[in-house]
A and B are shown apart, each in its own frame.
Chain A
Amino acid sequence: MSDELVQIETPFAFNEENQREFNELIGRYPIKEAAMLPTLHLAQKQAGYITPAVMKYVAEQLEVTVMKVKDVVTFYPMFFEEPVGEYVIRVCHTLPCALRDCKVVLDHLKAKLDTDIASETNLAKGTTADGKFTLMKVECLASCDVAPVIMVNDDLYKNLTPEKVDEILNNL
């Protein structure tokens, strides 16, 4: 393999803080492979999304094949294999939220951000042109009593109306 091919991707390595956290994680399990999900979360937090270089690095750290890491990454919806916006907006659209008009919230977000809804295989579709937001539909977020709800990165917003959505977007 030529050097060019290898260097298409920027290599990935944990920064100091994440390395410390990773070292602590690995001690929790009798086998290294078990730390897969927390490690991938950590790597995604640092890199933004899971690139092939990230998978390679995680595989080396956990002493498994790259294919095994890929296997896991493709299974779980929370791991992204494509770049996403700075803010990932997850809109719940399962039954309890649907009964409380989550569609109004979703349509409002679509119009306001002028973007489509991302699908798992095409995240770019739901990402705004400036790369600031990614809009996606997700299944039940376990907050049905305060429906409709959305999650913006790690924060949950409850009892939404189009006005509240505007307020949230303005405050970001």
Chain B
Amino acid sequence: MVEERRILYEHLDVPDINTFDVFRQYDGYARFEKAIAEYQPDDIAKMVMDSGLKGRGGAGFSTGLKWSFVPKDIKPCYLCCNADESEPGTFSNRYVLEKNPHLLIEGILICCYAMGIETTYVYIRGEFTLGKKMLDAAIKEAYENGYLGKDIRGTGLNVDIYSHPGAGAYICGEETGLIESLEGKRGQPRNKPPFPAVEGVFSKPTVVQNVETLCNLPFIVGNGVEWYTQMGPTYADTRSDPPTPDPNTGTKLYCISGDVNEPGVYELDLGLTCSELIEVAGGLRGEEVKAVIPGGSSAPILTHYELDTRLDFTSLTLAKSMLGSGGIIVMNETRNIVDCLLNIMKFYAHESCGQCTPCRWGTPWVRDIVQRIADGNGRKDTITRPKFGVAENGRWGDTGETEEIYEDLDLLESVANNIANVDTMTWNTICVFGIAVSWPAVSYLRKFRPEFEAAIREGKLVTLPIAEATVPPEENYAYQQRFVPKEFADL
């Protein structure tokens, strides 16, 4: 069985680790002191680039690369720490904020030193009242002990950290939505470019990083790049010649919930498979795995055929899904996929910010279609149409068979794909919320179509046995282009 490797969470359960004195006893702020004593800011940026650290918030973008886009000559520059953890199925940042807030402050200090940043805003979601209280107390202690404020440890470095509460809007977790919200407006995302790295909050260059990403920094600086890159696989990106390394290094705080015996946060090296993770989380609650959502509710669903998929950025992208924020939701054989999709679509219909028309109208429309199917009123056309395909004579045409038209299913896919097209990966909206809606809608439908058809045919929700409910990979467009990536070392 895969062993947990606790790095970010190592001292999480130490009593009073949230206080400055106890945190100091466990190497606290020593890594920051090492950074300012031994390295120049540019060295730190290079270390982060070499470590292959990818943003843990959802997009999985290289942190080092993001930092390199920030213009050096425009000041002030801001750091926004994204603690607006609202993706359903994700809950790792909450524990960092509530139990070990000094680790986040240390990460922020290292980032500020590397980028020459003097002001940081930690955008905490409004519901995290305890997390905000703990962080505010930790910030106060850090000021008192001279680790924040003016001229930190006599180095001439000035850093201020402020916590900023959100007010319950999911979209403020999107980086430009967060920036708008931070400026005191509605959290409606901005068009990119300009990217926040060039023009962000208060029209100044802004680095937006997730809590978990920042918490990785002390360990990269403290233990070195070589130590860090040993964890997790590095794949070969064969699109270029010679192949370039595609690192998925470090550990990930996997949040697992749903039908497992011991739901919780498990810190493991990137790259373990879905079934291994379920085993780590105390095994499945139920008989068989029906489906797994690998990266928060926005991620396309995985079926029982795909349980060997490795949970890292590259492998899941190639499996046409995503690691996202690492929120894994497991469903057993008793779950009805139509019902699950309805729940998720209600969430997105509620959380659409209303800025772009396809999303504002499309998300409630998708929800209504799924609601109709779940209520047993799904529209079915009684006329059957000829089925096109390769006919007996070997040519493309009418195969002589007929198929029933499930009007609502075609409509569902069409509406979802018009918010954002999952095949071409183009979206008709400003931000990626569009794709976060159509990804689950279309993938649930394509991979579990028999269950949707049964609901329309029978006029009620029918939970089919797994073998019947799942469309096999070879018959499904949703699975195409899927292959197992080769590790760089194997080439």
Contact = CB atoms under 8 A, between A and B. Distances in A.
B94 A142 contact: yes
B185 to A, nearest CB: 7
Interface residues of A, number: 44
A164 to B, nearest CB: 17
Interface residues of B, number: 53
A147 B257 contact: yes
Q: Is the interface of A mostly helix, strand, loop or mixed?
A: mixed
Given A37-B164, A72-B185, A156 B258 contact: no
B165 A145 contact: no
A139 B94 contact: no
Contacts of B187: 75-76
A102 to B, nearest CB: 10
A88 to B, nearest CB: 11
B485 interface: no
Given A78-B167, A79-B167, A95-B297, A71 B258 contact: no
A100 to B, nearest CB: 8
A144 B184 contact: no
A71 B167 CA distance: 13
Interface stretch (B56-64, B145-153, B239-247, B340-348): B340-348
A117 to B, nearest CB: 13
A118 interface: no
Contact of B184 (A37, A78, A90): A37
A23 B335 CA distance: 52
A37 B84 CA distance: 14
A96 B292 CA distance: 12
A142 B167 contact: no
A139 B125 CA distance: 12
A165 to B, nearest CB: 19
Interface string A93-122: 111101110000000000000000000000
Nearest to B440: A95
Contacts of B165: 37-38, 41
Contacts of A168: none
Interface string B243-277: 00000000000011111000111000000000000
Nearest to A76: B167
B258 A28 contact: no
Given A30-B202, A36-B185, A139-B88, A145 B343 contact: no
Contacts of B166: 37, 76
Contacts of A142: 85-86, 90-91, 93-94, 125, 127-128
A139 B346 CA distance: 9
B169 interface: yes
B248 to A, nearest CB: 24
B56 to A, nearest CB: 15
A107 to B, nearest CB: 16
A140 interface: yes
B182 interface: yes
Given A96-B88, A99-B329, A34 B297 contact: no
B294 to A, nearest CB: 14
Interface in A43-98: 62, 64, 68, 71-72, 75-79, 90, 93-96, 98
Contact of B126 (A29, A31, A41, A100): A41
Contacts of B14: none
A34 B344 CA distance: 32
A147 B162 CA distance: 31
B279 to A, nearest CB: 17
B233 interface: no
Nearest to B85: A142
Given A75-B186, A156-B130, A145 B167 contact: no
A168 B160 CA distance: 39
Given A28-B162, A41-B165, A151-B127, A99 B258 contact: yes
B184 A33 contact: yes
Contacts of B127: 78, 90, 138, 141-142, 151
Interface of A: 28-31, 33-38, 40-41, 62, 64, 68, 71-72, 75-79, 90, 93-96, 98-100, 138-147, 151, 154-156
Interface of B: 85-91, 93-94, 125-130, 160, 162, 164-170, 181-187, 202, 255-259, 263-265, 293, 297, 327, 329, 331, 335, 340, 343-344, 347, 350-351, 353
Given A75-B186, A139-B351, 11 more contacts: A31-B184, A31-B202, A62-B184, A72-B184, A72-B186, A76-B167, A76-B169, A77-B169, A138-B127, A142-B90, A144-B258
9 tightest A-B contacts by CB?
A: A36-B184, A76-B167, A144-B257, A78-B168, A78-B167, A154-B129, A140-B88, A33-B184, A96-B257
